[in-house]
Amino acid sequence: MSAPAPGSERQRIDKWLWHARTVRTRTDAAALVEHGHVRLNGRRVTAASQPVRVGDVLTLALDRAVRVMRVDGFAEKRSGASDARALYSELAGGPERYNAGQTSGTA
Q: Please write the tens of the pLDDT for every residue from 11-35.
A: 999 999 999 999 999 999 999 999 9
Is residue 59, in this structure, part of any structural domain at all? yes
Count the domains in the chain: 1
Distance CA 42, CA 84 (A): 23
Q: What is the DSSP letter of 106?
A: -
pLDDT at residue 64, rounded to an integer: 84
Is residue 74, in this structure, part of any structural domain at all? yes
The CATH number assigned to the domain holding 44 equals 3.10.290.10
Q: What is the residue range of 32's domain?
A: 10-98
Contact 102, 93 (CB under 8 A): no
Candidates 93, 77, 71, 78; CA nearest to 5 is 77
- Find the DSSP H helices in 20-95: 26-34, 81-85
Q: What is the mean pLDDT of each run of 10 residues along the chain (107 residues)?
A: 58 97 95 96 96 97 91 94 94 56 45
pLDDT at residue 57, rounded to an integer: 97
Is residue 48, in this structure, part of any structural domain at all? yes
